[in-house]
Amino acid sequence: MTWRSIVLTLLPEAFPGHLDLSLSGKARRDGLWSLDAISIREFGLGAHRTVDDSPAGGGPGMVLRADVVAAALAHARAGAPDLPAIYLSPRGQPLTQSLVRDWSAGPGLILLAGRFEGVDERVLRARGLREISIGDFVLSGGELPAMAVIDACVRLLPGVMGKTASGSEESFENGLLEYPQYTRPRNWEGLEIPGILLSGDHKRIAQWRLDQSRALTRERRPDLLPLEAGSPETLSLLKGEKLSGGEAGKP
Is 134 a binding residue for ligand SAM by CB under 6 A? The answer is yes
Cβ nearer to ligand SAM, comparing 133 with 231 = 133
Task: Residue 9: name the closest of 53, 67, 62, 72 by CA.
Answer: 72
Cβ nearer to ligand SAM, comparing 142 with 175 = 142
Cβ nearer to ligand SAM, comparing 108 with 142 = 142
Residues facing residue 6 across a β-bridge:
36, 110
Among 25, 90, 107, 167, binds ligand SAM (CB under 6 A): 90
- For ligand SAM, the binding residues in 22-81 under the rule CB under 6 A are none
Among 26, 49, 91, 122, binds ligand SAM (CB under 6 A): 91
Task: Residue 31: name the closest of 2, 51, 72, 6 by CA.
Answer: 2
Cβ nearer to ligand SAM, comparing 145 with 240 = 145
CA distance 46 to 102: 40
- For ligand SAM, the binding residues in 100-119 under the rule CB under 6 A are 113-115, 117-118
| Shortest distance in whole angstroms from residue 39 CB to ligand SAM | 15
Instruction: Provide the H-helix boundaries in 82-196.
Output: 97-104, 121-126, 143-154
Strand runs labelled E in the chain: 3-9, 33-39, 52-53, 63-64, 85-94, 108-113, 130-133, 187-188, 191-192
Looking at beta carbons, which residue is closest to ligand SAM? 114
- Angle in degrees, 0-180, between the axes of helices 143-154 and 22-29, rounded to the nearest 10: 70
Cβ nearer to ligand SAM, comparing 133 with 212 = 133
